[in-house]
Structure 1
Amino acid sequence: MASSTPHPPILKQPVRLACVQLASGPDKAANLAHAATKVREAAATGAKIVVLPECFNSPYGCDHFPSYAETLLPSPPTESQSPSFHALSAMARDNAVYLIGGSIPELVATTTNQDDSQKEKKTYYNTSLTFSPSGALLATHRKIHLFDISIPGKITFRESDVLSPGNTLTIIDLPDYGRVAVAICYDVRFPELAMIAARRGCFALVYPGAFNLTTGPLHWKLLGQARAVDNQVYVALCSPARDMSAGYHAWGHSMVVDPMAEVLVEAGEGEGVVVAELEGERIEEARRGIPLRDQRRFDVYPDVSRGFEEP
């Protein structure tokens, strides 16, 4: 039976969220300037949360990660260490938005002593930065699950040849609205992350991602709808635009899905901005009608959110 105990709203007030679907070329400075133009366009729609795609500042691919990687720690980095950090901060501040900055390749260089000599070790991550409307860094998410797949005759890709995985689930407080969780692309295939985030009070799960022409038509929308309906929250998927002249062909189709798995808005293949209004009542309506939160049988199976410690 559903509990009669009232649940506090998890989205404090309605908010407009925009996914910016853009193409990135080999010129990082041009990519950053283009992203700034599109974030301004998104903010002009009234969006207060703006999302950029995975690897928005560079071409996507293992061959590109090292040459485009930036040093983020110690934070804040200098502008020469991370022009993308400073560009994202300015985009958020100039447009007074919460900016979920897609992702960028990150470099962590460490020095070790071996055989009476110093050696530098370079570690790379696929990293998302989220900034407040004042331009302050709110959170950093390193992609937890690396994109290592092999579908015979279709696609083989191994991020782990270059990248290392993060080890932290990222939940972010947006004081004006509530909590969101940010993860990157392949992370969407692992429902445990979404379940923990939802049970920790997130009103939205946000996934910058670059699915391809094999997995995109099969699973992109399906996974967005699955994470939404399983957890009765909003899900935003933000893809790069498709560029058939690039080495990696992104699926596109950025979208926002509501707590009943309805696709509220969906982009096509090219560049564009898609915008959706998120409402707390829509979440509560889904949860009243299908009261999953009060019907789970933790006497039969464990609660994966138990024992999770927030950073």
Structure 2
Amino acid sequence: MATSSYPLLLKQPVKLACVQLATGADKTANLAHAAEKVREAASAGAKIVVLPECFNSPYGCDYFPSYAEQLLPSPPSPEQSPSFHALSAMARDNGVYLIGGSIPEIEVSADNKKTYYNTSLTFSPAGELLATHRKVHLFDISIPGGITFRESDVLSPGNKLTVVDLPEYGRVAIAICYDVRFPELATIAARKGCFALIYPGAFNLTTGPLHWRLLGQARAVDNQVYVALCSPARDMSASYNAWGHSLVVDPMAKVLVEAGEGEEIVSAELNGEEIEKARRGIPLREQRRFDVYPDISQGYELKSP
């Protein structure tokens, strides 16, 4: 058992499922299909269910404005955000914590200026909104002979780390896709007591085979916590081809489960004692040298979810 000075970050074992979802151009159909798959995951015993990035729409700068929904002031009306209400119902109807991948969000100012975000919504088993994460790091890359993409041509970045408390289990951190490349977010979240780092994402066929699994394992081994990456299913007829391969990594960086390319639900049992076992065996928390380098989590105040 964990020592009294280090209580279990995950209070009781929990089954987490990543829904590697196939989506198309019809938002209503995407929402209905997501509901079917969340129901399937919950029926198999999952209590935390994760959807992929842009689960309600195709992914791409050409699509963000036309699929964007207004989330503020919260709660939005069903007309302003059908996805908000669909996610709330999925969580409530299945009694699960639902990390709703992400959706394109629009915010309209008093002078009618439109700002777009890539936004993840997390709901409780009662269907209540628990947390909102706007993608902090925008996907702006250019790999010669590979891929060029600039989310910042359309999207604006969020400005906070997102940690949410799931009362029966503990804290999780939620970030989106490109956020996984920035270890500072993960480090702060882990030191704020998270038992899992959860990333809905849509890596591509250039960076996916190189870095997807590597980054999931890196964030896990750095922080000795669970990491879940949830991708859309691959669609070679789409303008953006997702890598797929949703996975869950344990605190020793072992890949517990990994999907293939197509639509699939993958799940894993998370256990708080496995976190403590990793941390007792390789005691990084006692060995850090904050006299040599700073503790970047010090002074960081978690903002309202």
Runs of 4+ deviating beyond 4 Å: none
Per the alignment, residue 18 of structure 2 pairs with 19
Q: Take 1:127 and 1:145, find their aligned partners in 2: how far apart are those partners?
A: 12
* Residue of 183, 204, 219 corresponding to 1:227: 219
Residue 216 of structure 1 aligns with an amino acid whose one-letter code is G
Structure 2: distance between partners of 1:279 and 1:10 = 9
State the one-letter code of the partner of 1:144. V
The equivalent residue for 1:35 is 34
Task: Select the residue among 198, 208, 215 that pairs with 2:200.
Answer: 208
The one-letter amino acid paired with 2:103 is I
Q: Which runs of 5+ in 1 are unaligned?
A: 113-119
Q: Please name the residue that 1:7 is paired with.
A: 6
Distance 1:111 1:156 in 2: 34
Q: 1:172 aligns with which of 152, 156, 164?
A: 164
CA distance in 2, matches of 1:21, 1:215: 18
SS in 1 for 2:120: strand
Name 2:139's counterpart in structure 1. 147
Task: State yes or no: 1:66 paired with 2:65.
Answer: yes
SS in 2 for 1:237: strand
Q: Distance in 1 between matches of 2:90 and 2:230?
A: 17
Structure 1 distance, partners of 2:271, 2:155, is: 37
* Aligned match of 2:244: 252
Shift of 1:244: 0.1
Q: What's the counterpart of residue 74 of structure 2?
A: 75
Counterpart residue number, 2:48: 49
Task: Say whether residues 1:195 and 2:187 are aligned partners.
Answer: yes
| Equivalent-residue separation in structure 1 for 2:215 and 2:73 (angstroms) | 35
Unmatched 5+ residue regions in structure 2? none
Percent identity at matched positions?
A: 82
Q: Equivalents in 1 of 2:298, 2:285: separation in Å? A: 15
Give the structure-2-normalised TM-score.
0.98
| Structure 2 residue identity aligned to 1:44 | S
Q: Residues 266-311 of structure 1, C-alpha deviation per residue, up to 9 Å, x if partnerless?
A: 0000001001000001000000000001110000000010111112
Separation of aligned partners in 1, 2:23 and 2:264: 13
Q: How many angstroms apart in 1 are the aligned matches of 2:198 and 2:238?
A: 25
Q: Quote how far apart the aligned CAs of 1:6 are.
A: 2.5
Count of matched residue positions in the alignment of Structure 1 and Structure 2: 301
1:23 positional shift: 1.4
Give the Å deviation of 1:5.
Answer: 7.1
Code of the residue aligned with 1:171 in structure 2: it is V
